[in-house]
Structure 1
Amino acid sequence: MAKYGRIIGLDIGTKWIGVARTDLLKTVANPIGTYHTENAIDEIKKLVDGERVEKIVVGWPLTPAGQEGKAIKMVEEFVARLTKALPDMEIDKIDERYTTKEAVRAMVEAGVPKMKQRDSDRVNQAAAAIILQKYIESRKTDNVRITDRYV
């Protein structure tokens, strides 16, 4: 593992993929974009090719009871395509329960106007940043359960 490198976080949806990345020291997650599922792989590949990315973290959609939800299949299919495009990239998954609600709450607390809170681009990016920040924090403590390594 590189001493200085980034981790990319993904919030995978049916039409849109929210993307976030860490700073080089891997301490803070920042939202960077939302891409349509049709071109998200190409955009993520550009990020990986253009920056020192050492890992990708995907949100794993569990039910409130902690079981794998119906969205698992969609996420698995996207991750399979991503793995094919980036065969040497390490991909981890982490429980993403409630990240969209947390993203909206964070926007409310930050004073984002209601119309912009409904903007799915902003919500997806913010959810990706929350997923990634949870992953970063889980590496420091055992407060957040990281599910099995995907690849």
Structure 2
Amino acid sequence: MQDYSRLVGIDVGTKRIGVARTDLLQTIASPVGTFSPDDILAELKALVEDSKIEKFIVGWPLNPNGEEGRATDMVDEFIKKILSKHFPDIPVVRIDERYTSNKALDLMLEAGVPKQKRKEKGRRDRIAAAIILQNYLDSQDNYGNSTHRNI
């Protein structure tokens, strides 16, 4: 019997944190929700209790020129204080998240999401988390090996 597990994608922000997860076959990423920094630990614990989580895939907010900055420091702090501390047995993979918020907006436009709903930042954050996670999935070969460089 196969042991199924999920991956969880996280888009960390100062005010909101977008979360997505894969299906059990790890082929499709779907948005879960957007949570405040105060609520994220409880939400992640609930996800871990609900399903076996294989990895956390965290958006790594590089500057447009590819360098790390204040935003990467904030995400690194989140990884240390929340993920590594509370989920030490679940590996964390950082993946370049440049332009995922713009892609999220483009996807909402293509899907015909009304302008008022597109303005909801929480909606964009959870879609960005799904894009980060799907980018990770798409970068894996058929054997689960990464075809890109982990950051």
| TM-score (norm: length of structure 2) | 0.91
Deviations 1:97-118 (A, max 9, x none): 0000000000000000011001
The two structures, once aligned, show a CA RMSD in angstroms of: 1.8
For the pair 1:8 / 2:11, whether they are aligned, the reply is: no
| Aligned ranges 1:51-130 → 2 under 5 Å | 51-82=51-82, 83-130=84-131
Letter of the 1:61 counterpart: P
Instruction: Tell whether the 8 Å contact from 1:93 to 1:147 is kept in structure 2 after alignment.
Output: yes
In 2, Cα distance between equivalents of 1:11 and 1:110: 21
Residues 127-136 or 73-82, more deviating: 73-82
Deviation at 1:62, TM superposition (A): 0.6
Shift of 1:63: 1.2
CA contact (8 A) 2:6 2:26 kept: yes
Deviations, residues 20-58 of structure 1 (Å, cap 9, x unaligned): 000000000000111101110121111012212111100
TM-score computed with the length of structure 1 as normaliser? 0.91
Which residue identity does 2:71 align to in structure 1?
A: A
- Give the match for residue 36 of structure 1: 36
Unaligned stretches of 5+ residues in structure 1: none
The percent of aligned pairs where both chains have the same amino acid is: 47
Which contiguous aligned blocks of 4+ residues in structure 1 show a shift greater than 4 angstroms?
141-144
State the SS of the aligned residue for 1:132: helix
Residue 143 of structure 1, CA deviation: 9.3
Structure 2 segments unaligned to the other structure (5+ residues): none
Q: How many residue pairs are counted as aligned between the two chains?
A: 147
Q: Which whole-Å CA distance do the structure 2 matches of 1:18 and 1:138 have between them?
A: 21
Quick one: distance in 2 between partners of 1:97 and 1:146?
15
